[in-house]
Structure 1
């Protein structure tokens, strides 16, 4: 069995901590049927490193717990983030612009069900999907792509050389 690299663990933990801090700091707009979760911008980080997958997932889990979310939101919200992050990591070799698509879609599809059944929000599911999708679009595609562009010039210093060649085209799937 291969040992986990310390750098991988540290990167994942730092990403999780930043996600939690942003979720708690912006708690008034991070929860509810119309939400803008600033921390979701970090969902583009799987473009740079696999450590971002458990990082954003654990961050979402802890952020939901600390934000007082009900159990279904803690579980299914975190699973939506995990699924989005995994798919983003897989798409990183296709195009850096595609890494923002999976988190937007997984959250727009899963979170409306959470809002309806965990929070009792009476709005129709298509409306909830639209509001969550718009919030995700602004956070992930908007802020996330700005973050991605800001990190690109220094990606090897920040994330190491292992995943630094992520933008090199490869045949999909890997």
Structure 2
């Protein structure tokens, strides 16, 4: 296989793996992945949108597939997936000129707030709980996932070049 073919294959495979991991991790922790008290560990992968736009599609697809299993129904498929789309697109756009990974991680974490806002409004309407309660709960869970994710992704950057979609030599 020529180098460009191998590179193209890797550029398709890596996002597919990310989408699959998003689904597997979210469903493995399903009781925490849905609802007012929410800690969706797979949200850690949202940092990847700061490295390359190919991960936006992977994360949106992963989120959509997970939300098909949501006890909240089709509204969660629409609202939750829209929140992920907004957060990851903002992450990509606002980190394009980030000077280092720490800056990327901080910006990516903050870019998830619009999605948190949408999901919180959805949960408020469905659960009839106060907005500040749903927003605070979802925000804390999102930030915890993103903080853990920054550590995990930073470790993985020693092995994987997420910008160019290539494995680094060991």
Q: TM-score scaled by structure 1?
A: 0.80
Task: Work out whether 1:39 is the aligned partner of 2:47.
Answer: no
Cα distance between partner residues in 2 of 1:12 and 1:52: 6
Aligned to 1:123: 129
CA deviations over 1:55-97 (Å, ceiling 9, x no partner): 1111000011134441111011001001101111122222323
* Contact 1:20-1:59 within 8 A present in 2 as well: yes
Q: Say whether the 8 Å CA contact 1:11–1:55 is kept in structure 2.
A: no
Pairwise CA distance, 1:135: 0.6
Tell me the secondary structure at the aligned position of residue 157 of structure 2.
helix
Q: In the alignment, which of 97, 107, 122 is matched to residue 115 of structure 2? A: 107
Contact in 2 for aligned 1:107/1:133 (Cα 8 Å): no
5+ long unaligned stretches in structure 2: 1-7
**DSSP 3-state at the match of 2:39:** coil
Cα distance in 2 between the residues matched to 1:160 and 1:68? 35
Check if 1:132 corresponds to 2:138.
yes
What is the deviation of 1:112? 1.2
TM-score, scaled to structure 2? 0.82
Equivalence for 1:149: 154
Alpha-carbon contact 2:86-2:115 (below 8 Å) kept: no
Task: Name the SS of the counterpart of 1:153 in structure 2.
Answer: coil
Q: Aligned partners of 1:129 and 1:33: how far apart in 2?
A: 9
Instruction: Tell me how far apart the structure 1 counterparts of residues 10 and 158 of structure 2 sit (CA, whole Å).
Output: 20
Query: Structure 1: which 4+ aligned runs deviate by more than 4 Å?
Result: none
TM superposition shift of 1:49: 2.1
Change (3 A) 1:163 1:129: farther
Where structure 1 has 5 or more consecutive residues not aligned to the other structure, the ranges are 165-174
CA contact (8 A) 1:64 1:73 kept: yes
- Partners of 1:42 and 1:98 lie apart in 2 by 14
User: For the aligned residues, what is the CA RMSD?
Assistant: 2.0
